[in-house]
């Protein structure tokens, strides 16, 4: 769940400034890969995989996602982090020239991303920082802690008399309180019918506020498993233990998210509690590159005669650019006579600026007679490149026979070293 600057301003300023007029763009601009990386870090933090922020159904990763415009370029939307969100390719193509809010309201009316949009204030938005100590959030904390009088004033009006704008103010204050750890504000708002306290519970689990998590559990019936999953991913062991004590039991999903976050203590806890399904967990661990967790999962799986999908795990390890994990998975897969898809592995390895992984995959694939799609690999490397950063991988693909780049067909090549 993400909180926008619109809600920030509503939560901290009763009279927000009106919109500035937006100038319409005449042509669609290519999003540089470095800007895409900043968008992912801004809205998803340090996790490697999540679900589309709009449909919440299609998985996306930090190396495989689209940047969707909150305000469409055709409607004057800017090309910066505040106006972009990490979403799936399906949603991005379906939005076309629609604003993200309009698209989500029509096709995904229950999407949490709608809570980050309002219609009567500046539409440029930003993400609520995961870390409450983030400097960009500090300026809001004093105002939030001194906002109880305004909250009480709105509440006393009664549910039927509260305006839409006041509902947005209360919603923003509740999410900020859950994210920043203001228990007094949460206490004031928890029983208001207009408040989506389930999202607040998720946000407090995500940001590690044990006291607020415990308070909400005592007041409301919550989805303990979803809270445990995000706490596992974020590495909040104290919250995980609390939710287990209260009744959370989805050990396999908890294991998968803990592997994604790279927290070996929580991984051990989930296994001790009974997690036995490593279908999603091993690829997640390979992608995050935690060799200790990868070895632990393999050891536990072998002991229980679990059949691993070594190919999927290798693809994720290549996508993450972790040579030590790649070598381990190849070694284990060869022992079990796994037939690797070397072409997809090479394409995945081109997403990272680590030439040693593509070189290894090429060596292994050519030894088995694999016919690589060099043009596809070149296009992927170009897509994830920025000036000379990926010049080694691009040069390698051209040396191997690539002679056509899908990206450079429709735009000027961003690689100054090689004119492909």
Q: For residue 331, what are the CA distances in angstroms to 325, 337, 364, 414?
A: 10, 10, 11, 37
Residues 6+ apart with CB under 8 A from 275: 251, 252, 254, 255, 281
In a domain, 228, yes or no: no
In a domain, 319, yes or no: no
Residues 6+ apart with CB under 8 A from 373: 343, 347
pLDDT score of 136: 38
Specify the 3-state DSSP secondary structure of 63.
coil
How far apart CA 418 and CA 395 sit, in angstroms, is: 7
| Tokens 């680590």 found at | 354
pLDDT score of 152: 63
The whole-angstrom distance between residue 82's C-alpha and the CA centroid of its chain comes to 16
In a domain, 101, yes or no: yes
User: Is residue 251 a contact partner of residue 277, using CB atoms and an 8 Å limit?
Assistant: no
Number of domains in the chain: 1
Other CB atoms within a 10 A radius of the CB of residue 269 amount to 20
53: tokens are: 């922020």
pLDDT score of 373: 92
pLDDT score of 312: 93
Residues 6+ apart with CB under 8 A from 8: 126, 128, 140, 172, 176
In a domain, 71, yes or no: yes
State the greatest distance between any 2 C-alpha atoms of the chain, in Å, as a whole number: 75
pLDDT score of 56: 82
In a domain, 24, yes or no: yes
User: Is residue 70 a contact partner of residue 99, using CB atoms and an 8 Å limit?
Assistant: yes
Residues 6+ apart with CB under 8 A from 156: none
Q: Report the CATH number at residue 63.
A: 1.10.30
User: Is residue 314 a contact partner of residue 361, using CB atoms and an 8 Å limit?
Assistant: no
Specify the 3-state DSSP secondary structure of 68.
strand
Domain around 86: 20-120
In a domain, 111, yes or no: yes
The DSSP code for 64 is B
How far apart CA 366 and CA 281 sit, in angstroms, is: 30
Asked whether the CA dihedral 71, 77, 83, 87 is positive or negative, the reply is: positive
pLDDT in tens, 133-186: 333 333 334 444 445 555 665 656 565 566 777 777 777 778 888 888 888 888
> 189, 209, 206: which is closest to 197 by C-alpha?
189
pLDDT score of 142: 40
Residues in the chain: 420
How far apart CA 362 and CA 400 sit, in angstroms, is: 10
The whole-angstrom distance between residue 125's C-alpha and the CA centroid of its chain comes to 17
In a domain, 90, yes or no: yes
In a domain, 408, yes or no: no
pLDDT score of 117: 64
Consecutive 10-residue averages of pLDDT for the chain (420 residues): 46 41 49 80 74 84 84 85 87 86 85 62 34 36 50 59 72 81 83 77 90 89 90 93 93 93 93 89 92 93 87 92 94 92 92 86 93 88 59 82 69 43
The DSSP code for 57 is -
């Amino acid at each position: 769940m993400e909180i926008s600057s619109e809600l920030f301003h509503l939560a901290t300023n009763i009279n927000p400034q009106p919109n500035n007029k937006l100038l319409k763009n005449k042509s669609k601009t290519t999003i540089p890969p470095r800007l895409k990386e900043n968008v992912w870090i801004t809205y998803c933090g340090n996790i490697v995989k999540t679900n589309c922020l709009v449909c919440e159904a299609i998985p996306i990763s930090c190396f495989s996602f689209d940047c969707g415009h909150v305000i469409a370029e055709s409607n004057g939307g800017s090309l910066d982090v505040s106006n972009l969100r990490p979403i799936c390719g399906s949603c991005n193509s379906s939005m076309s020239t629609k604003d993200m809010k309009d698209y989500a309201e029509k096709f995904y009316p229950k999407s949490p991303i709608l809570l980050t949009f309002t219609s009567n204030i500046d539409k440029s938005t930003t993400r609520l920082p995961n870390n409450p100590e983030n400097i960009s959030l500090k300026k809001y904390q004093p105002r939030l802690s001194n906002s109880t009088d305004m909250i009480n004033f709105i509440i006393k009006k009664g549910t039927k008399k509260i305006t839409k704008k006041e509902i947005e103010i209360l919603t923003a204050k509740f999410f900020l309180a859950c994210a920043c750890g203001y228990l007094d504000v949460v206490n004031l708002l928890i029983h208001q019918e207009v408040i989506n306290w389930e999202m607040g519970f998720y946000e407090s689990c995500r940001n590690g506020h044990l006291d607020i998590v415990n308070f909400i559990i005592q007041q409301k019936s919550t989805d303990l498993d979803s809270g445990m999953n995000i706490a596992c991913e974020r590495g909040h062991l104290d919250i995980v233990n609390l939710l287990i004590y209260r009744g959370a039991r989805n050990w396999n999903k908890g294991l998968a998210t803990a592997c994604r976050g790279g927290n070996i203590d929580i991984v051990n806890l989930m296994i001790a509690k009974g997690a036995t399904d490593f279908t999603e967990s091993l690829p997640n661990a390979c992608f995050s590159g935690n060799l200790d967790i990868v070895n632990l999962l393999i050891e536990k799986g072998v002991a229980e005669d679990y059949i691993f999908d070594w190919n999927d795990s290798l693809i994720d390890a290549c996508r993450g650019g972790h040579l030590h994990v790649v070598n381990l998975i190849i070694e284990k897969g060869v022992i079990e006579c796994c037939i690797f898809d070397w072409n997809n592995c090479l394409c995945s390895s081109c997403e990272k600026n680590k030439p040693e992984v593509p070189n290894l995959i090429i060596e292994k694939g050519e030894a088995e007679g694999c016919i690589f799609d060099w043009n596809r690999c070149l296009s992927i490397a170009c897509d994830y490149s920025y000036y000379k950063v990926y010049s080694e991988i691009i040069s390698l693909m051209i040396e191997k026979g690539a002679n056509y780049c899908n990206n450079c067909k429709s735009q000027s090549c961003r690689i100054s070293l090689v004119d492909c």
